[in-house]
Structure formats: C-alpha cells, structure tokens
Amino acid sequence: MSTTFQLDTGTSRANPTPQVMKRLTVPAILQRKQDGITADPIVMLTAYTARQAQLLDAHCDMLLVGDSLGQVIYGLPSTIPVTLEMMANHAAAVVRGSYHSVVVVDMPFGSYEESPQQAFASAAQLLKASGAAAVKLEGGAAMAETVAFLVGRGIPVMGHIGLTPQAVNVLGGYAARGRSDAEAEKIVGDAKALSDAGAFSIVVEGVVEPIAIAVTNAVPCPTIGIGASALCDGQVLVTEDMLGMFERVPRFVKRYADVATTISGAADLYAQEVRARSFPGAEQTYQPK
C-alpha cells in the first residue's frame, strides 16, 4: 500500500491517508515498450511541491522533480546553481504528495560528473532523503560508465540527451540540436550508449524531429520527448509552462490553461475588496455568541 496526503482543514497540515493503490515502478515503465513499440504512451510532468504532486499524480505515469525548479521556483538564471539539498527537499515533498507515479529526481550540475563514485554518493543521498524511485542525469556516451555504475548498485537512471540545459555554457544557448549530420549521429550514439548502460528511459530534449524518431527506433528503452516528436514513447513538459504561468512560451510548449491570468485576477479582486473594506465580511469573521 502506498500513501497520499490530504489537507487537514482543522490544522492546515498535510496528514497521510492510506490509498489502496500500488505505485508504478521503474520496471513497469521500462516494460511499456515492447518490441520497439509503446502502445500506451508515457505521461510525465514536472512537480516541485506536495500540493502540485497531489493535483498531477492521478494523470501521470511519472513525476519529474526537475532542476528546472532553479528557474521556476527560485528565479535563478539557469539550472547551474541548483544544489543537492534543493533537489532532495523538493523531491521529498513530491513523494509525500503522490501515491501513483514514479518519482524521478534530477541530479544537479556538479553532483555526478566527476566520477561514478561521486555520482553514486550524490544519487544515494537524493534517494535516501526523498524516497524517490530514480535519478535523472544529463549527458550521452560520456556518462555511460556512470550510468552502468549506478544501475549496477541498485539506482535506476533516466538519461537525458540532445539539448542538455546544464551544458548551456558549452552549447552556447538553447537552440535545437541535431541539425548537422555529425550532431545527429552523435545524439543517436549517445542514446544507444545510455540504453546499453542500463538507463530505463531517456529524455530527448530539443532535437529535430527526424532525429528524435531515429533515437526512439534505435533503443529498446522508452524515450521521453520534450521539443522532440509525438512519436517518442512519452512526453514531458514543465508544468508551469503547460499551465501558462509565464509570459514566454518556448516553441515546444502547448499552453493548456492561463493560470497566470487567473491568479492575477484573483489577487486584483482581493486587493480591491481589502481597500474597500468589504473583506473580510460576516462570513469570514467571528462574532460574539
């Protein structure tokens, strides 16, 4: 049995409520792809808080605690400054707020690149502190040895190739990858190397569509597209982008709501009522008995 959380309106605290529902597992995600075909595409969204996880969990197969929280939550200019402590704390909140999805947590920049041993120490710290099921790390063939090292020691790994935000300073920006023959060949080779090393899935980000399809056809594990192709085995988006929380919308994002306007409108109405002294009213105040 796994656990979800409901808001206790008496104390404003999240209290665990048992749910007779088994959480999805990493092997179950891997087995979605049979003989190169994923009949039931994998749904993944980012989540950074317990309440967000509660709202998304029933609709997703995986929740990604992405290092994109650096920009989305903390207002940082990139993912580079994100720390292990940040990732562990947010991942723990997402695990507490979910009971169905596989929770995957990003390994932040500088926590795994030095050596497989460093990567194991960081990954073990993340999983122990949060209860997440798997880690995600960026990089292709150069990280294959590290992926094999982690998987061999019981840590499931999701790979990430193509546009890798942690390498933005090397890439020189966030442009789509795979436009040249050499780069396209490298991306496919990176995917094969990660799959051979034991990655249970691979995020394919910001890759021209024919190459994303070639990657998906080249590996037995599921691919998760973001700015790639609908023919990937699954899709992921930053939830705040999908909800329309920011003015800027990347090309690969479809806005499914305009939550920013809703929030701003509610705050405006609240401000008007406070200034007019019409809030709080009789329904929101306590009167003598």
pLDDT tens, 233-272? 999 999 999 999 998 888 889 999 999 999 999 999 999 9
CATH of region 2-242, choose from 3.40.50.300, 1.10.760.10, 3.40.47.10, 3.20.20.60: 3.20.20.60
Write down the catalytic residue from 205, 240, 247, 273.
205
At 33, the amino acid letter reads K
Binding site feature residues: 67-68, 106, 136, 138
Distances 185 to 179, 190, 209, 212 between C-alpha atoms, Å: 10, 9, 14, 11
Annotated binding site for Mg(2+): 67, 106, 138
How confident is the model over 38-76, as pLDDT tens digits? 999 999 999 999 999 999 999 999 999 999 999 999 999
For the chain, the structural domain boundaries read 2-242, 244-279
Tell me which amino acid residue 150 is: L
- Stated pTM of the model: 0.90
Contacts 24+ apart (CB under 8 A), 6-12: none
What would the pLDDT profile of 181-205 be if each residue is shown by its tens digit?
888 999 999 999 999 999 999 999 9
- Which element (helix H / strand E) includes 70? helix 69-72
- Contact partners, residue 124, CB within 8 Å, separation at least 6: 155
DSSP, collapsed to helix, strand or coil, labels residue 105 as strand
Pairing between strand 62-65 and 42-46? Answer: parallel
Annotated binding-site members for 3-methyl-2-oxobutanoate:
67-68, 106, 136
Report residue 10 as tokens. 């008496």
DSSP notation for 267-283:
HHHHHHHHHTT-SS-GG
User: For this structure, is 205 an active site residue?
Assistant: yes
- Six token digits for residue 123: 């990954």
